[in-house]
A = this chain, B = another copy of it.
């Protein structure tokens, strides 16, 4: 029961620290924090750390380099996949009408270090077909997906259209969305948001190819 909740930025900082410990093996310095977040002053990081300490989610050991530790309080605010301990579900074929992460869609769970990916993945989705071939995403690849309803132009998205789940490159102009394949053999899908419902299930943040077919 924390008195004050973390701000969005503070949460980002906390998650970075947690990831750094999990993947690199020790906590980051102020300067490393600054570099990652683009701060031009190490004091920006320092202030954030003070705030996080004030709110009880981290401890700072004075005078010790990298003297940051997470407290018990920090756990709840961290996303569930923050450590390598929580497995990534592999979603195979998505049954019509069911949420992507519904039990029936989950084939298996794999333990994958989330820090492997530049963006935190929430699940793996088996890609079907070769519509994204020229982006290096092949049939059978596992797409690491970050769950979010927001997408920017040019990003690879997992979208749901008429209960079909598809992986395409996202492009939006006003209320017109194009789902672009990366393969000349396929046609772009055009959606008018006024007449058709389009749900962005998440962003593609990486690929795992379980085998190289020879």
Q: What is the interface of chain A, defined by CB distance below 8 A to chain B?
A: 21, 23-27, 29, 65-70, 84-85, 87, 108, 110-113, 115-119, 133, 135-138, 141-142, 152, 154-156, 169, 204-212, 214
CB nearest neighbor in B for A112: B112
Q: How many copies does the complex hold?
A: 2
CB-CB under 8 A from A214, the residues of chain B are 152, 154-156, 169
CB nearest neighbor in B for A153: B214
Q: How far is the CA of A67 from the CA of B26 in the complex (A)?
A: 7
CB-CB under 8 A from A212, the residues of chain B are 135, 155-156, 204-207
Pick the contact of A110: B65, B108, B116, B136 (CB < 8 A): B116
Minimum distance in angstroms from A171 CB to a CB of chain B? 11
CB nearest neighbor in B for A85: B111
Q: How far is the CA of A209 from the CA of B169 in the complex (A)?
A: 17
CB-CB under 8 A from A137, the residues of chain B are 136
